[in-house]
Amino acid sequence: MTNPTVPVPDRREFLAYFSTIGLASTLLPGVLWSKVAAGADITKETIASAEEIAGMSFTEDERTMMVRNLTQMRQSIDALHKTTLENAVAPALVFDPLPPGVSLPKKTKQPAAPSRVPMLARPGSLDELAFESVTRLASLVRARKVKPSELTEMYLSRLKRFDPQLKCVISLTEERALAQARTADADIAAGRYRGPLHGIPWGAKDLLAAKGYKTTWGAGPYKEQTIGEDATVVQRLDRAGAILVAKLTLGELAQGDNWFGGVTRNPWWTEQGSSGSSAGPASATAAGLVGFSIGTETLGSISSPSTRCGVTGRRDLARCLAAIVFSLL
């Protein structure tokens, strides 16, 4: 009797299944996957032929179980894919142990104390500020020694100058940035200072949507994709007065530092990639192309590019989804 053909999951799901039955460290998953990738169907006969190469042996019942379980896995995945989620639906990351109807006393929010930093004099060339920390840039902006528009033009110029070597930019948001800078100039001149991020240029990893600009996820199939809304973190930084100057690179679909435009480079050793997945934010911050940048966490997306490029990366789950705030020491 012919065995039914099993629809094949993707490679990660395929290998994960063999991990659950204790076969991840054997040759069988790799051998079987190579047959599937070459166009073979997963049947009891396919499993039996893979056993010979892997030096293993299963009973007829065990082969039937594998075929059945892979079929069920595919059906479950297909059912999940039929559920349409809007882009604005946040992942279920928050666990609330309180029973329905129960609430805790509200905490009084303490005002943030500003950092005390020495006041800098305005330099002869604004490029001298490219590597300054956000706190020092903020002190200059607040004291009206430097205008947000001046910082914005300086960082845009550096992005254009150094990106050909570093490959850390997917899209410049120049028009948006200059408009935000003009607004920040006027607000600060009128005494409407919003706080330490007001007038500070920043860069966003290109997983974060910005209305009117591409959001590519670093992947070729999505390099023309636009999302008609701003990500929550972009909205919050807009309200704080920060100025978005660029959408920065990431490895394809948040994996590594290789994206559809090439490999993002470590500014201090350009023969080396900047690591990933938040390759662009780390590289751009280390090279003094933005005041700070935001990335996201998958696996090592904070520690790896921070270590590679010599910047500080802070993960903050409380304020936005696994955000990385890259800044200079």
Q: Catalytic positions, please?
A: 205, 277, 301
Selection from 152, 258, 240, 145 nearest residue 193 by Cα? 240
Q: List phi, psi (to 5°) of 145.
A: -85, -25
Q: Cα dihedral angle (288, 292, 293, 297), rounded to 10 degrees?
A: 110
Structure tokens at 294: 């935001």
Residue position matching structure tokens 């490219």: 130
Reduce the DSSP state of residue 270 to 3 states and report it.
strand
> For residue 134, what are the CA distances in angstroms to 12, 13, 20, 146, 211?
40, 42, 47, 13, 25
Burial 10-19 (b: 16+ CB within 10 A, else e): eeeebbebbe
- Rounded Cα distance, 112 and 108, in Å: 12
Torsion angle of alpha carbons 227, 229, 232, 234, nearest 10°? 90
C-alpha span between 304 and 318 (Å, rounded): 22
Q: What is the distance in angstroms between the CA of the first residue and the CA of the last residue of the chain?
A: 68
Total Cβ atoms within 10 A of residue 268: 13
